[in-house]
Chains A and B, each alone.
Chain A
Amino acid sequence: MRLRGLTKRFGETLAVDRLDLDIPTGTMFGVVGPNGAGKTTTLSMATGLLAPDAGLVEVYGVDLWREPARAKPLLGVLPDGLRVFDRLTGAELISYAGLLRGLPADVVAQRRDDLLAALDLAGAARTLVADFSAGMTKKITLACALVHAPRLLVLDEPFEAVDPVSAGVIRRILAQFVAQGGTVVLSSHVMALVERMCDHVAVIGAGRVLATGSLDEVRAGADLEERFFDLLGARGPEAGLAWLRPS
């Protein structure tokens, strides 16, 4: 995936500012950055969910915004902060996603059952997604992103609210996917997780790429978290809340 000069402005705020990023095929690519850095905006534009003001998105050489019909089948997307059709049951939501991707019914049924089993959601298959916990909703949305076996997975905060056991399962699924030649892009706030999972990272701040490359290149001998603080000019201990102690 190749991003060139991606720009998005919301009113007065420049959320993403001429952002360039290359994501090599077959990598597990982590995108980190503080709140409001433009991670979600960037990933939304990279997956066809948000029209950029300017810039280019290429997925395996296909211009996503010019030829969406060719590019979108290559992508599996887990967006953050968007709702799902939660009046459907878990099983129905996966089936719906599969059918929308144009898969034949028998294939959809098979993959739905496999995904439900793999993500430990079989017990919730007949329950409305509206009754799911946040972590379960995340998992079912991930299943929707996987159902058509894409070549590139773009996952925005895939581990948020997910319990450790499920996170382990998801990590193994993603690692296997990469081992078979797939590409994964994921964003996270948890440095340790990115450090453990990803072989490539990009640090984003104020709508620009501050550093990118292989994990070792970016952390340059230090801890990823320390590098992150360096790049962003992190602040010291919180001052001014002297009154905040148990009363």
Chain B
Amino acid sequence: MVATVLRLKLRLLANTMQREVWRVILVVLGALWALSMVPGVVGGARWLAFQPLEVRSSALVVVGTVLLVGWTVIPVLMFGADETVTPRKFAVLGPDPRRLAPALAVAATLSVPALFTGFVCLASMLAWREEGGPTTAFALASGAAAFATCVLASRVVTAFATRLLSTRRARELAGVLGGLVALCAVPVGISLGSLGLEGALERLPGLATALSFTPFGAAWAAPAAAAAGEWAGAFGHLLLAWGFVGAGMLVWVAQVDRLMVDPPSTVGAARRRADAFVGEVGAPGPTTTARLARAVARRALRYWLGDPRYLASLASTLLMPLLIAVLLAVVGLSSVSGAVLVAPLVAGAVGWGRHNDTAFDGTAFWLHVSAGVPGVADRAGRVLALSAWAVPGVVAIAVGGAWLAGRWDVLGASLGLALGLYGAGLGVAMVSSVLLPYPAPRAGDSPFATETGSVGASLVAQLVATLATAVLAAPVVVLFWLTAEGRASLGGVVLAVGALGGVLVLAAGVVLGGRLLDARGAQLLARLT
């Protein structure tokens, strides 16, 4: 079974690479990056070998934690980076999940990041080579456990996230949890920031001890204990590490078993409800365009509430700004706290995040083309649906951030920057989603699935959207920086420039995107198929 799945995966990879040069370039770049890191990893491990035992131990536990966090977060963040062989595709063949699940896990190690992780786990042995044979043996056994934990964790988390987002109740729960995590990230960032980098490092050994009893650090603590001569501890940590691997495998087998007979249904929202389209939206509007835009907005809002793909894409766009905000808080910029920057970062990401909006309609977009909906109405409807919840949300985050940071003086500037970035990002998105659509997961598919053959297109579209947003938002960013650097009197100016500029860019995006849509509706539809 293992060999069959491996061969299948290699064949699929080869076929996609033949079809798409971009993927080859990406793999080669990834491999080059990994190779360039090899001397650093080996050097680091050798350097660690000359450090005191406690330093070695804490440092490796932190490395292991970062690796595992990466392996659990990134698969969710990057839509289906590795979904070439999924359990669901084997369902019709009816294989034994207890044989299929391990084979799928082994197949998952066939990627540049996985091979690199494997190398890091192996290289950690170098840090223990002076400690004698038994310790090296422990390092080898625990390195393998750490690697297996990473690979299994990514499988389990992806399957779990897909399932979690597929039922309505769970989706609400996920939304609440996500909100809580986001809210917690800020205070944690601030407290870390107040500790400073050195203060945080001082607390590391305590943290490492705690982590060494979790899947994050258990494997990495075993050789340290062996080197210290604590054989009981060494065996304990090693057993714990392999115990986590075993538990992960059991969970993965159960997940594969369930995925094959009971795929997550991706229709979660209330399945029966009255038609709310006529009445609310259909009320006579000032113009036909306004009426059509309201109809489109109502439809888009239905999708925001009832389609997990939207939530998944939102979650993945939000993770990055939140991480940046926390990092900024930790590094501790003198002039401005991370808490103040959360709202602008989130606003920019939410607006920019719709740069592939039309592709989420999929081929259902024919209804707009066939009805000859004016492009402006189509664009405006999408903007209305997003803004209905995103603008109040951003304002709330900005106020909350200013309150947490105790920087009411920069609230105006923060809000101005947020609105400016939102307008610029969404304005660009309204144009780029007409010009540069790339395949999105289809309604009903896993929100984490990615269409094969879309890597190049998605990279180009994301790059163009990012650059255009950055250029358009440059004035308000510069003004914000001046304010934060001490000219607090400029706060009002930033707010005015951000709000007005944002609205202007957004309006321009709607009009330009609408014109392009009028001219290229059918061509766009052909690319969504």
A residues adjacent to B (C-beta < 8 A): 47-51, 68-69, 72-73, 75, 77, 79, 81-89, 91-92, 95-97, 99-102, 104-106, 108-109, 112, 125-128, 130-131, 144, 148
Contact = CB atoms under 8 A, between A and B. Distances in A.
B526 A96 contact: no
Interface in B461-479: none
A98 B284 CA distance: 14
Interface stretch (B94-102, B181-189, B264-272): B264-272
Contacts of B273: 89, 126
A49 B282 contact: no
Contact of A101 (B299, B306, B307, B371): B371
Interface stretch (B20-28, B48-56, B362-370): B362-370
B442 interface: yes
A67 B290 CA distance: 22
B364 A99 contact: no
A82 B361 CA distance: 11
B295 A100 contact: yes
Describe A's contact surface by its main secondary structure. Answer: mixed
B526 A50 contact: yes
Nearest to B298: A96
Nearest to B366: A82
A55 to B, nearest CB: 14
Interface of B: 267, 269, 271-279, 281-284, 288, 291-292, 295-296, 299, 302-303, 306-307, 361-364, 366-373, 442-444, 522-523, 525-526, 529
Nearest to B274: A126
Given A72-B371, A72-B372, A99-B295, A105 B307 contact: no
Contacts of B522: 48-51
Contacts of B373: 100
Central interface residue in A49, A97, A108, A148, by most chain B CB within 10 Å: A49
A128 B522 CA distance: 27
A100 B271 contact: no
A171 B367 CA distance: 23
Contacts of A148: 371
A53 B303 CA distance: 34
Central interface residue in A73, A81, A85, A131, by most chain B CB within 10 Å: A85
Central interface residue in B295, B363, B526, B529, by most chain A CB within 10 Å: B295
A49 B267 contact: no
B377 to A, nearest CB: 9
Central interface residue in B303, B307, B363, B367, by most chain A CB within 10 Å: B367
Contacts of A99: 277-278, 281-282, 291-292, 295
